[in-house]
Structure 1
Amino acid sequence: MSDLNVMTPAEIAATKAAVMDQVPGPEIQGQSPLHHADLETLAKQGPKAGGVHLREHKLLGHLTLRCNPDNADQLAAVERVLGVGLPLQPLTSVEKGDYSIRWMSPDEWLILVPGLEAFEVESKFRDEMGGHYSLVNSSGGSTVLELSGDNVVELLKKCIPVDLHAAQFPVGKVVSTVFSKSTAIVRRTGEKRFELIIRRSFADYIWLWLQDASREFGLVIEA
C-alpha cells in the first residue's frame, strides 16, 4: 500500500475525488520550511568562526515505511530498492550514499533520499514489495538541520532531555525526543555532529531557539 498516485490522466479527469499531483512540472518551485530565514545570505555575510555550525539539508525526500520486520521477503525487497537493509535494532540507523534509514518503532522506519529521487523510490517499492505494508511520502512536512562544532553537545544539552555522552549516544544512534517546547528526531552522525529532523510547523521556532541557545558559543551558518 502506498500513497503513490498511479491513475492515468483519463482516470483523473473522470474521478470526482481530489487527486494530488505528486510529480509537478518545473514551474512549481519547492521551498524549504526555513526559506524565509535566507540561510544562504546569512552564510555569506555572517561570522566564519564559532563553536556551533548549522547547515540545512533542504528539500530531501522523506518516506515513512511500515512493514513486518519478521518478513524476510519484505526485508529483501527493501534492500533491493535502497541498496541497504533496514536497521532492526531499536534506536539505530544505517546509510549508504545519499540514502539513510532511521529506526522509529518496531515496524516503522524513516527513509531519507535525494528529493528528486523520492518518486522513483516509491515506484520501486511498489514493484518490489509484496504483502501488507505502508509507504507514505511526507517530504514537504519536514526539513533536516545539521549541527556540528566544538560546542554542539553543550548546545543540545539545553534543548533535549537525552544523555549525549558518547557511551550512551554513539554515532548512528537516533531518538525521537522533546526539543525545547517542540519535538525533533535526533541522530548522531559524528563525534561532534548531529542531525535534526524537524517539522515544518515548528521550523521557525526551532531556528529562533537555536540562535538564542548558541549565542554564548557563536553560531556559524553554512550553505
Structure 2
Amino acid sequence: MSNVREFNTVPDGHPSVESPLAWSYQQQHTGIVLREKALLGHLVLRGGAIVLDEAVRATLGISLPAKPNALAFDDSGERSIQWLSPDEWLVIVPGGEEFALENALRHALGDAHYGIVNASGGQTVLTLSGENARDVLMKSTPYDVHPNAFLVGKGVTTVFAKATVVLRRPSETHWELVVRRSFADYCYRWLLDASAEYGIDTQ
C-alpha cells in the first residue's frame, strides 16, 4: 500500500457542496400548478331566486349570488354557490355531503316549484395557479380573463379549447374549471400541452 496516495475529497469545515445536477435543477421553472379537486358534491338548482335563497341560507348559511356570473363561498371556502343563469345555480360541497344537502333542501323547499339535480358523478374541478396561469387561459378560451374584466368572485360558462367549461376565479391566485366528466381527460391533456412552455407541476 506504500505506492497508493489517498486524498480526502471532503475538506475540513463542512463547506457547502453541490450535486452534479445543481445547475439543471436551477433551470427548472414551474409557471403552472395544475390540480384536481376530485369527487366533490355538485348540485344544480333550478327555480325562483327568492324561494331558493331562503332554503339555501337555511341549509348552507350562504345566500344565492344575486348578480349574474357571481360566485359565493362559505367561511371555510369549501362550499360554493355560482350563478349560472337567471333561474339556475351550481352548488359545490365536499364529497359525501351532497345527498344530505339535497334532502335538506327538498325539506326546506316543501311544495315550491323547483328542481335539484345531483351532477356529482358527471363533473370534476381542475384548479390552475402559478404566474403563467392567465397566459394558459388566454391560449385556451376566447373569454376575457384580464383582471379588470374577470374579477375575483366571478364565474362564467364558456368555450375552452373545443369543450365547454365553467370557469371561475375564487381568489387572486387561483382559477377553477368545472369540467364535464366526458371532457375531463381532453381538458387535462390540453392544459398539459398549453402549459409545457412555462413548466408545469401536476403533483
Is the shorter-chain TM-score for this pair beyond 0.5, marking a shared fold? yes
CA distance in 2 between counterparts of 1:106 and 1:155 reads 30
2:88 maps to a residue whose letter is: E
1:93 aligned to 2:71? yes
- Across the two proteins, how many residue pairs are aligned to each other? 174
Compare 48-57 and 212-221 and name the one that shifted more.
48-57
CA distance in 2 between counterparts of 1:107 and 1:173 reads 17
1:105 aligned to 2:59? no
CA distance in 2 between counterparts of 1:204 and 1:156 reads 17
What do the CA deviations read for 1:71-117 (whole angstroms, capped 9, x no partner)? Answer: 3x432121001110100100101000221001000000000011111
| 8 A contact 1:153–1:192 mirrored in 2 | no
**Secondary structure of residue in 2 paired with 1:62:** strand
CA distance in 2 between counterparts of 1:54 and 1:115 reads 20
* Aligned residue number for residue 213 of structure 1: 194
Q: What is the correspondence of 1:165-176 to structure 2 with a 5 Å cutoff? A: 165-176=146-157
2:109 maps to a residue whose letter is: M
* Aligned residue number for residue 183 of structure 1: 164
* Aligned residue number for residue 155 of structure 1: 136
| 8 A contact 1:49–1:220 mirrored in 2 | no
TM-score normalised to the size of structure 1? Answer: 0.75
| 8 A contact 2:71–2:170 mirrored in 1 | no
CA distance in 2 between counterparts of 1:99 and 1:122 reads 14
Deviant stretches of 4+, over 4 Å = none
What do the CA deviations read for 1:182-219 (whole angstroms, capped 9, x no partner)? Answer: 11100012223100000110111111111110010001
Q: Which runs of 5+ in 2 are unaligned?
A: 1-27
Of 61, 78, 86 in structure 1, the residue corresponding to residue 56 of structure 2 is 78
* Aligned residue number for residue 44 of structure 1: none
Q: Which runs of 5+ in 1 are unaligned?
A: 1-47
| 8 A contact 1:64–1:110 mirrored in 2 | yes
Q: What is the correspondence of 1:53-64 to structure 2 with a 5 Å cutoff? A: 53-64=33-44
**Secondary structure of residue in 2 paired with 1:143:** strand
| 8 A contact 1:175–1:185 mirrored in 2 | yes
| 8 A contact 1:67–1:134 mirrored in 2 | yes
CA distance in 1 between counterparts of 2:56 and 2:33 reads 34
CA distance in 1 between counterparts of 2:29 and 2:89 reads 36
Q: What is the correspondence of 1:33-48 to structure 2 with a 5 Å cutoff? A: none
Deviation of 1:49 (Å): 5.0
Q: Identity of paired residues, percent? A: 48
CA distance in 2 between counterparts of 1:173 and 1:167 reads 11
CA distance in 2 between counterparts of 1:74 and 1:205 reads 34
* Aligned residue number for residue 47 of structure 2: 67
RMSD: 1.5
* Aligned residue number for residue 31 of structure 2: 51
TM-score normalised to the size of structure 2? Answer: 0.82
